[in-house]
């Protein structure tokens, strides 16, 4: 990006619990302290498979310090594994979302061996162990002989899993004391209690906090985006399940009638080896259109992503499958009209024609975008409603409250 102006420096902000009172009210914070007080001296461990990139790492990056501030003795550990292991877990992930699965020799052995290796490296003496997603699910073998509580937090839509993979993972899931799902529709019939845990966004994080207009402007200049013409944006990893090529096809349909631009911005996660391949497919589909901006951003680009969302006319989330789709809540918090697929947890966030528009196809997505571009006051009202909906349901403080309640209920 030689020759482009650098974005003005913004002072890093590390929000503390009391800072959230400005968004959720001081009563909410006071009650969180009351609940946490009852867990005084209890130890918690969270385990997932990546420390950067993706929604799970983002949530943990914020929940862990805030729970520590509340006095909960919490520790976060990341599963260690090589590229081959993460290739296997990526195939598991896609299969659990319902994609076809072709087992290759040694995959299940590698999965188990990596879990067992990590089991030897980590201690599990905490009172509450929360294991996130399938990659570390077999760590539950370590509970043998221990009298603590084990919870499996599933961020994936398990409603239509590939039977081979699910039947392989299920016996481990059944060894937990409970499972946490992002929506009722994501669950499977299990003999353990299942709880509803909406995921959440942090309203004060770099990705969501208010930004000065000159910073937003500078980010647009840096990436060569014209602020005077409508900007359609999808923020997501370069992942086939997010259908970036479908977004380009929808844009191309809109483009026949509206002089607009498309921004596809996202980065990779350390546990997603397919990202580079998908990025090449997206570049090919864009056919060097100068109004399509494909931005492969490093994982620390939160302020840039925030600025791109704020500058957008419409935010798109045209996923084919989703966990919860937190980027939708991020856009809604910024009062942006959203056009999104009715998959995964998105219908929990986008109530059709009330907090956004739902679509089921490339054609439908293009139609809803055109409708909103033609009706800006309706689009503005959707954004306003969406912001309120997120503030009531999908903020970090709600998630912290649920964890505190879960631990309190388990220890009773």
Partner 1 sequence: MRQAKSPFAFVAASYLVRIRPERAWTLAELTQHLLTVPDASILYHTFQSLESHNYTTFSNDFAQWALAACNESVLAEELSAIDLRDFAAVEELRKVLTETLERYLKQRPQTGDRPAFEPFFFCEAVETVVPLEGRAYTLHELAEGIQRMSLHTLHHHFINSRLRPKLRVNDFSNWIDDSLGLAELAKRLNRIDFYTNTLEGVRKEILQALNGWNS
Binding residues for partner 1, per CB under 8 A?
25-28, 30-31, 34-35, 38, 181, 184-185, 187, 189, 193-196, 351, 354-355, 385, 388-389, 392-393, 401-402, 404-406, 408-409
In the bound complex, what is the minimum distance in angstroms from residue 19's beta carbon to partner 1? Answer: 17
In the bound complex, what is the minimum distance in angstroms from residue 220's beta carbon to partner 1? Answer: 32
Partner residues linked to 180 by β-bridges: 153, 195
In the bound complex, what is the minimum distance in angstroms from residue 146's beta carbon to partner 1? Answer: 24
Give 19 or 28: the residue with its C-beta nearer to partner 1: 28
What is the rounded distance in angstroms from the CA atom of residue 90 to the CA atom of residue 75? Answer: 25
Neighbours of 24 (CB within 10 A): 18
In the bound complex, what is the minimum distance in angstroms from residue 129's beta carbon to partner 1? Answer: 18
In the bound complex, what is the minimum distance in angstroms from residue 173's beta carbon to partner 1? Answer: 14
Token reading at 384: 């306003």
Q: How many residues appear in the chain? A: 412
What is the rounded distance in angstroms from the CA atom of residue 369 to the CA atom of residue 167? Answer: 41
Which of 291, 292, 258 lies closest to 371, judged by CA?
A: 258
Long-range contacts made by residues 102-109, C-beta under 8 angstroms, separation at least 24?
103/164, 108/168
What is the rounded distance in angstroms from the CA atom of residue 215 to the CA atom of residue 305? Answer: 12
- Opening angle at CA 403, ends 400 and 408, nearest 5: 125
Give 86 or 186: the residue with its C-beta nearer to partner 1: 186
**How many Å is the Cα radius of gyration of the chain?**
21
| Contact between residue 389 and residue 345 where contact means Cβ atoms under 8 Å apart | no
What is the rounded distance in angstroms from the CA atom of residue 292 to the CA atom of residue 260? Answer: 9
In the bound complex, what is the minimum distance in angstroms from residue 43's beta carbon to partner 1? Answer: 20
What is the rounded distance in angstroms from the CA atom of residue 268 to the CA atom of residue 410? Answer: 36
Give 19 or 31: the residue with its C-beta nearer to partner 1: 31
What is the rounded distance in angstroms from the CA atom of residue 286 to the CA atom of residue 278? Answer: 12
In the bound complex, what is the minimum distance in angstroms from residue 411's beta carbon to partner 1? Answer: 11
């Amino acid at each position: 990006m030689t020759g482009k102006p650098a974005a003005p420096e913004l002072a890093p902000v590390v929000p503390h619990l009391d800072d959230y009172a400005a968004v959720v009210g001081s009563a909410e914070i006071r009650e969180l302290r009351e609940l946490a007080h009852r867990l005084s001296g209890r130890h918690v461990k969270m385990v997932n498979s990546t420390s950067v990139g993706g929604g799970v790492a983002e949530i943990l990056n914020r929940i862990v310090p805030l729970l520590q501030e509340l006095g909960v003795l919490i520790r976060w550990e990341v599963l260690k594994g090589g590229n081959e292991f993460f290739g296997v877990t990526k195939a598991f992930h896609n299969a659990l979302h319902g994609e076809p699965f072709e087992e290759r020799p040694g995959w299940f052995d590698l999965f188990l061996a990596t879990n067992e290796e990590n089991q030897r490296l980590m201690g599990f003496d905490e009172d509450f162990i929360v294991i996130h997603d399938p990659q570390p699910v077999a760590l539950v073998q370590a509970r043998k002989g221990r009298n603590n509580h084990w919870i499996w937090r599933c961020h994936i839509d398990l409603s239509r899993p590939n039977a081979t993979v699910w039947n392989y993972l299920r016996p481990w899931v059944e060894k937990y004391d409970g499972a946490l799902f992002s929506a009722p529709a994501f669950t499977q019939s299990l003999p353990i209690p299942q709880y509803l845990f909406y995921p959440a966004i942090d309203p004060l994080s770099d990705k969501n906090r208010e930004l000065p207009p000159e910073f937003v402007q500078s980010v647009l200049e840096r990436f060569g985006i014209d602020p005077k013409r409508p900007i359609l944006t999808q923020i997501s990893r370069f992942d086939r399940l997010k259908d970036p090529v479908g977004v380009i096809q929808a844009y191309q349909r809109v483009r026949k009638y509206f002089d607009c631009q498309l921004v596809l911005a996202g980065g990779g996660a350390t546990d997603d080896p397919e990202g580079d391949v998908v990025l090449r497919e997206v570049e090919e589909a864009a056919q060097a259109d100068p109004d399509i901006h494909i931005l492969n951003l490093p994982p620390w680009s939160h302020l840039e992503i925030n600025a791109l969302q704020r500058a957008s006319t419409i935010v798109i989330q045209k996923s084919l499958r989703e966990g919860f789709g937190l980027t939708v809540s991020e856009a809604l918090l910024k009062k942006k009209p959203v056009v999104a697929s009715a998959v995964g947890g998105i219908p929990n966030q986008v109530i059709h024609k009330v907090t956004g528009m739902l679509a089921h196809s490339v054609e439908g997505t293009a139609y809803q975008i055109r409708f909103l571009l033609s009706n800006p006051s309706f689009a503005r009202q959707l954004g306003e409603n969406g912001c309120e909906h997120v503030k009531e349901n999908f903020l970090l403080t709600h998630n912290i409250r649920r964890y505190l309640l879960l631990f309190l209920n388990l220890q009773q």
